[in-house]
Amino acid sequence: MKTKTLEGIEQKLQQMDTGTLRYHVLESAKNFKTSWIELGRSLFSVWKDKLYKDWGYGSFDIYTAREIGIRKQTAVKLLRSYYFLEKEEPQLLNKEYADGLKAQQVPSYEAIDVLRQAKNKKTIGAQDYANLKKDIFEKAKDHREAKKDLTALIRQRQELEPEEAWEKRRSGTLRRFLGTLKALRQEAETAKILTAPLIKEVGDLIKKIEAELS
């Protein structure tokens, strides 16, 4: 976090009552590197209960950007990573457990986000997930390396299941083609570029593609 942002947070902390959630969020943001879990917990409460509106902000994104100096992408990852831990690894959210860990032993929110992505991938098996989890939690693997491992696993599984990979590629291509075809038909109708029979043929083709995808 930039020095200017930290100075801004310090000024805001001096103007707020200690013990409030708003104060706690700012304090957690100041200690972001070592307490992202606590920041994620606090932000989740702010987001879920829309408390930012009580503090004069029109949206959660505006609140995180202006009050605690966190970009939208970072805030979303924090929320996702915290919620993932709440569901899948609740022991890490236990204060006594977390306090017993050194800062370098706590997985980063980016690494937890990689683990979350792995959990949601149908092609990733239970053993592959367990190995990735062990690398992140026990070996403190950097999120960049974990992301590379996940990408390699996905590619490997696609190679082992070529029919499924081909079907996915086929479906994606058809959807893109369908979208383009619909847009061109609309343009042709508006500009009267094609005759009515041709427009009908294009419409029939669109129906056939939609049937393929259904």
> Cα(109)–Cα(100) distance, rounded to whole angstroms?
18
Listed range (73-82, 104-113, 114-123) with the worst mean pLDDT? 104-113
Check residues 50 and 214 and name the one with the higher pLDDT: 50
Q: With DSSP H G I counted as helix, E B as strand and the rest as coil, what are the percentages for the chain, rounded to 5?
A: 75, 0, 25
Give the per-residue pLDDT at 61: 94
Residue 11 has pLDDT above 70, yes or no: yes
Cβ atoms of 184 and 203 within 8 Å: the answer is: no
> Cα(60)–Cα(52) distance, rounded to whole angstroms?
6
Label residue 23 by pLDDT band (50, 70, 90). Answer: confident
Listed range (19-28, 82-91, 194-203) with the worst mean pLDDT? 19-28
Place of tokens 């457990």: 97
Residue 5 has pLDDT above 70, yes or no: no
For the entire predicted model, the pTM comes to 0.57
DSSP state of 140: -
> Cα(97)–Cα(23) distance, rounded to whole angstroms?
24
Give the per-residue pLDDT at 138: 79
Give the per-residue pLDDT at 151: 87
**pLDDT, mean of residues 126-143:** 85
Gap between the terminal Cα atoms of the chain = 48
Count the alpha carbons within 13 Å of 190 in the hemisphere toward its beta carbon.
Answer: 6
Cβ atoms of 65 and 71 within 8 Å: the answer is: yes
